[in-house]
Amino acid sequence: MKKLSVLVLICSSFFLKAQEVVKKNGYTLIFESNYAELDPALKKRMIKTFFEVYPKLAKEYNPSTLKEVKFLVDTAYKGVAATSNGSVVYASNWMKTHPEDIDVVTHEVMHIVQNYGRSLGPGWLTEGIADFARYKFGVDNAGSKWVLPELKPTHHYRNSYRITARFFAWIEANVKAGTVQQVDKNLRERTYTEAIWKNITGKDLDELWEDYIKNPII
């Protein structure tokens, strides 16, 4: 009886999941949702954002990235969003309470483009690059009041996400453009070591951070 209840629950969840397949310019997005209250306008905007930013990210970082991506708005997921194997799950509660945060899409699909697998690179670097991509390619960061934070004494480049992204934006603007692109390439090719920063810029990460602290304007 217990097994039957579980089976019924699984089947019910399956049939409640709405799916739409959208194809455009060589890319396919499979959009699924088990959240009945998902705003159709928000769904439309998520799809539009994917087709606007994903090809740009692919062109900039990884032309060989997946051509088919899956989105799932899930009532069971309690985080914000997560990406794995070409699929992005979005928490229904986050989409409900933060409908303006459309560039969560940009950040997450950048993880698909990154495709580092079992990379030698640290997690702070992966997330920092994804937020740098959101900063550079986001369609409406201003609408969600998403900004790169001003430098504080407690910050460090290993803090990840926006703090790291701002440091990368500074490097791109003040040291050498294309640095993030090259680091991303090495991570994907599994050849990354911290020595790459000095090879590209002439300084290691700590030296770059010291320069950043002295004049953090981007």
What is the mean pLDDT of each successive set of 10 residues along the chain, which is 218 residues long?
A: 34 59 98 97 98 98 98 97 97 98 98 92 97 98 98 98 98 98 97 97 98 97
Per-residue confidence (pLDDT) for residue 6, from 0 to 100 = 34
Per-residue confidence (pLDDT) for residue 119, from 0 to 100 = 81
How far is residue 39's CA from residue 75's CA, in Å, rounded to a whole number? 14
Q: Is residue 136 part of a domain?
A: yes
Let me know whether 78 and 123 are in one domain.
Answer: no
Let me know whether 109 and 133 are in one domain.
Answer: no
Question: 123: helix, coil or strand?
Answer: helix
Task: Provide the CATH number for the domain around residue 78.
Answer: 1.10.390.10
Q: 117 near 190, Cβ under 8 Å?
A: yes
Let me know whether 100 and 125 are in one domain.
Answer: no
Let me know whether 162 and 80 are in one domain.
Answer: no
- Name 42's Cβ contacts closer than 8 Å, sequence gap at least 6: 95, 99
Instruction: Report which of 166, 53, 38, 181 is spatially closest to residue 108, judged by C-alpha positions.
Output: 53
Number of C-beta neighbours around residue 66 at 10 A? 18
Q: Where among 98, 115, 132 does a domain terminate? A: 115
Q: Where among 60, 92, 115 does a domain terminate? A: 115
Instruction: Report which of 204, 150, 195, 155 is spatially closest to residue 175, judged by C-alpha positions.
Output: 204
Q: How many structural domains compose the chain?
A: 2
- Residue keyed to tokens 């409640």: 16
Let me know whether 215 and 123 are in one domain.
Answer: yes
Q: Where among 63, 90, 115 does a domain terminate? A: 115
Per-residue confidence (pLDDT) for residue 15, from 0 to 100 = 42
Per-residue confidence (pLDDT) for residue 2, from 0 to 100 = 33
Instruction: Report which of 184, 187, 132 is spatially closest to residue 161, judged by C-alpha positions.
Output: 132
Per-residue confidence (pLDDT) for residue 16, from 0 to 100 = 54
Let me know whether 88 and 125 are in one domain.
Answer: no
Per-residue confidence (pLDDT) for residue 12, from 0 to 100 = 37
Range of the domain at 51: 18-115
- Name 31's Cβ contacts closer than 8 Å, sequence gap at least 6: 19, 20, 21, 22, 43, 46, 47, 70, 71
What type of residue is 152? Answer: K
Let me know whether 37 and 96 are in one domain.
Answer: yes
Q: Is residue 7 part of a domain?
A: no
Tell me the pTM: 0.91
Let me know whether 98 and 171 are in one domain.
Answer: no
How far is residue 135's CA from residue 148's CA, in Å, rounded to a whole number? 8
